[in-house]
Amino acid sequence: MALISYYDNIKGWCRCGGFLVRDDFVMTAAHCFGSNMKVTLGAHNISHSENSQQDIPVLTAFPHQDYDAKRRINDIMLLKLEKRAKLTKEVQPIALPGDRDSMKPGKVCSVAGWGKMDDGTYADTLREVDLKVQDEKQCKKLFHRAYDNSIQLCVGNPNSKKGTGCEDSGGPLVCKGVAQGIVCYSYENHEVLPRVFTRISSFVTWIHTTMRHSWGTVSVVSLAFDVISCALGPPPRLLLPSPLPCICPHRPPLTPVPPQHQHLHRNLEHSEPHVHYHVSYEDTHSHAGGGTGFIGTALTRLLKARGHEVTLVSRKPGPGRITWDELAASGLPTCDAAVNLAGENILNPLRRWNEGFQKEVLSSRLETTQMLARAISEAPRPPQAWVLVTGVAYYQPSLTAEYDEDSPGGDFDFFSNLVTKWEAAARLPGESTRQVVVRSGVVLGRGGGAIGHMLLPFRLGLGGPIGSGCQFFPWIHIRDLAGILAHALEANHVRGVLNGVAPASATTNAEFARALGAALGRPAFIPVPGTVVQAVFGRERAIMLLEGQKVIPRRTLAAGYQYSFPELGAALKEVVA
């Protein structure tokens, strides 16, 4: 049995149940999702530390791609652990059913957890209850069309008050040592049984496929990258799905489980090997101190740490590299994924914003992207994934609007049109290669990115907001941008557009300036007038600094990415430490 703790932006700290299915994977309900997720294994009494306990952070969450919180279907999620669990007497995987396993009415199974009890308190010790599988008619009568017997189980005697409660969600329904169900939901505001469980046998193929490809085959091509941090578009729409919590009916406490009987499971055979992936990664070094070395180095380091092989595509030959000429002559080498981080540095103060420089900005993005997309589509064995990094300049600057990945944009000014053309240039025909676009905000990190130009005046106590300071400042820590890219490569369910910004990126420029000053222990109240910014960068480029947008990473969170730096204060402290 596993205890999962996580932070929800609305409810605060929450917890759910779960169970180990492999030494590096835990299964739970998809609605048990949040940030800062941690798994505790081998626990019996969670009120104090036990020698048998193992606390392991979650590396990546994989909610089912068709999970629907409103309809309460496909409520299943896999959590990849940051490190493998040590299998002991108290920590063992639970066996999974076959995809044709049936659950006949009348079968008695058990559920365990640390959920809320009838007196409103939470159990400190692991408790267990036996529940009987019911005929589907019982749940159809209670839940009507919301219940789907092909992917759900109806469990719990209507004449009994024993059942699961709030925060037992995600725990397993164990039948003769096999996990057949996952605690999902109960009837709202009623002390009634039966309750609905996710039917695991209906998801066996998805489970094995997700675990097999969690270290996905990756082939990456990466170029120099410069973040465009302004945006545009007509009035946006923001659709944020809220997770459906388990309803908390009154119920008698579950029977405590003796420590010696905590694991009711037989060992799961480890049939899914870990695979090292080949990554083709391209680097043009088109501008000094720009995004190539900064973002490219961070991503390469992360991918190699996860066991991937990385190949750079560069103008110059060298170990672990191929050249552009070789790419043009011989095509894309066999690889599993490609990443493109391309572009001339737009905010280079030494370059005048004239027609010639604008053409360089366009060609450095569009021509290289088109070349790589063509190489992918013509490859004998195309990569499984193709990831492009663009910018939040796609969205229109606004002091009030909120933008998620489905919000319109891309047709307001030079920069938004650039992103539209850039993403169109990367588009591949057909579905043989999974395609992902990450629209990045301002990247914060040591040794590069936006912070590099800000530190000196802020360290001298001369820093402050740019212009009015009221404009939004969508940001992301370099470690999280690299993490999102790696997640997009490794997680086969990730497709389409992701916003590469922090969850707390609804930050104004003035708030950012104060936070950076606080991280350095310096005042930050001397503003940079907008007229100065316009004089240095030109009126059109100055928009990128004087205006901003509130960007929400809805799909990024829904895709299961776990942020290392969701809050600005912690991110800046790490950057300036």
- Tell me the pLDDT tens digit for each residue of 368-383: 888 889 999 998 888 8
Residue 343 pLDDT > 80, yes or no?
A: no
Q: Where in the chain is the domain with CATH 3.40.50.720?
A: 278-576
What does the pLDDT read at residue 543?
Answer: 82
Lowest mean pLDDT, pick from 9-18, 225-234, 313-322: 225-234
Amino acid identity of residue 440, one-letter, is: S
Q: Which H or E run includes 278? A: strand 278-282
Q: How far apart are CA 562 and CA 355, in angstroms?
A: 41
- 8 Å CB contact between 397 and 473: no
d(CA 384, CA 456): 43
Q: Which is more confidently placed, 453 or 92?
A: 92
Q: Can you give the pTM of this predicted structure?
A: 0.58
* pLDDT tops 80 at residue 270: no
Domain 108-210 annotated CATH 2.40.10.10: yes
Give me the pLDDT at residue 187, please: 54
Q: How far apart are CA 82 and CA 57, in angstroms?
A: 6
Please give the full DSSP string across 412-463, using - where no structure is assigned: SSHHHHHHHHHHHHH--SSSSSEEEEEEE-EEEETTEETHHHHHHHHHTT--
Closest CA to 129 of 227, 224, 255: 255
For position 191, what pLDDT does the model report? 53
Q: What is the DSSP letter of 293?
A: I
Confidence of residue 165 (pLDDT cuts 50, 70, 90): low
Question: Is residue 293 very low, low, confident or very high in pLDDT (cuts 50, 70, 90)?
Answer: low
The whole-angstrom separation of Cα 178 and Cα 195 is 19
Looking at domain 2-94, its CATH architecture is Beta Barrel (2.40)
Q: Which residue has the higher pLDDT, 353 or 289?
A: 353
Q: Range(s) for CATH 2.40.10.10 in the chain?
A: 2-94, 108-210
Query: Which element (helix H / strand E) includes 113?
Result: strand 108-113
CA atoms within 13 A of residue 506's CA, in its CB half-sphere: 10
The helix or strand, by DSSP H or E, that contains position 496, with its residue range, turns out to be strand 496-500
- The verdict on whether omega for the bond into residue 194 sits within 30 degrees of 0, i.e. cis, is yes
Predicted local distance difference test score (pLDDT) of residue 569: 93
Higher confidence at residue 516 or residue 187? 516
Percent of the chain with pLDDT over 70: 81
List C-alpha distances in Å: 193 to 115, 159, 250, 333.
Answer: 17, 8, 11, 58
Q: pLDDT category, 284, cuts 50, 70, 90?
A: very low
Question: Residue 78: which pLDDT band, with cuts at 50, 70 and 90?
Answer: very high
Q: Looking at 390-394, 413-417, 447-451, which range is the least confident one?
A: 447-451
Whether pLDDT at 17 is above 50: yes
DSSP code of residue 177: T
Residue 501: CB atoms within 10 A of its CB come to 29
**Given pLDDT bands bounded at 50, 70 and 90, which one contains residue 167?**
low
Q: How many other C-beta atoms lie within 10 A of the C-beta of residue 356?
A: 10
As a CATH number, domain 278-576 is 3.40.50.720
The DSSP 8-state label assigned to residue 290 in this structure reads S
| CA–CA distance, 492 with 480 (Å, rounded to integer) | 19
Nearest-angstrom CA–CA distance, 192 and 186? 8
Higher pLDDT, 71 or 489: 489
Q: Quick one: average pLDDT of 13-36?
A: 91
User: Which runs of consecutive H residues, i.e. helices, occur in 491-567?
Assistant: 509-520, 530-537, 539-546, 554-558
How would you label 97-136 residue by residue, b for 16+ Cβ within 10 Å and e otherwise? beeeeebeeebebbbbbbbbbeeeebbebbbbbebbbbeb
Average pLDDT over residues 421-436: 91
The pLDDT tens digits for 461-476 are 888 999 999 999 999 9
Write out pLDDT tens, residues 212-224: 765 433 334 433 3
